[in-house]
Amino acid sequence: PRRAAAGAPRAEKVVEGSGRAVERVGGREWHVAATGFWQAHRGAAQAYSDTVGEWAAVSPGATAWDLYGGVGVFAAVLADQVGTGGRVEAVELSRRAAQDGAEALSDLGQVRFHAGRVEQLLPELPAPQVVVLDPPRAGAGRDVVAAVAAAGPERVVHVGCDPAAFGRDVGLYRDHGFELADLRVYAAFPSTHHVECLALFTR
């Protein structure tokens, strides 16, 4: 019940301005809800996006998944790699975030946004060459990691902000035959125990 309440729509009142924020990454602009999610550190979105682009290395014409994709910051990077002949399937629980992402990336016909729970939508998606996922603090968990592994990607780029949940997910990937090929850690949350961990898994 507590989780359901946390995810329920909340009353909002715009006191001043439009209620929208403008964010920029990689020369692209997003207009997002002021109450929506964006990275806490001002340089984080660009730094993570650069790493995702470096590690994903999706082939032109291939399919990539962007899970827990928010407004599509990583989807934009993947779209550049797959080109017009490829496909990027972005899955995001927040319908508003998915709508904001679809508007921001409306010029990229290879990107499709799906609003809903990752674990429910994965069976409907075409098999990926690469999967990028940036789950909430609780991590991806057993069911999602198993579904990602079953889809048979060559590479997985996993983003995690809670060290304990991230460590658990690393073990789950290894259980499914993935190896931790690279790891980067960003001190994006000063004065807290949280760090942002980006991992590349291959098999």
Record the tokens describing residue 145, joined without a space. 């990691």
Neighbours of 133 (CB within 10 A): 23
Print the domain residue range for 59. 2-202
Q: What is the CATH number of the domain that holds 180?
A: 3.40.50.150
**Residue pLDDT tens, the chain, 203 long:** 444 444 556 677 777 766 777 778 888 887 877 777 777 777 888 999 999 999 999 999 999 999 999 999 999 999 999 999 999 999 999 999 999 999 999 999 999 999 999 999 999 999 999 999 999 989 999 999 999 999 999 999 999 988 899 999 999 999 999 999 999 999 888 888 778 999 999 99
Tell me which of 56, 71, 140, 161 is the catalytic residue: 161
**Model pTM above 0.95:** no
Active-site residue, 197 included? no
Please give the tally of structural domains in the chain.
1
Measured distance between the N- and C-terminal CA atoms of the chain, rounded to whole angstroms: 39
What whole-number distance in Å separates Cα of residue 167 and Cα of residue 169?
5
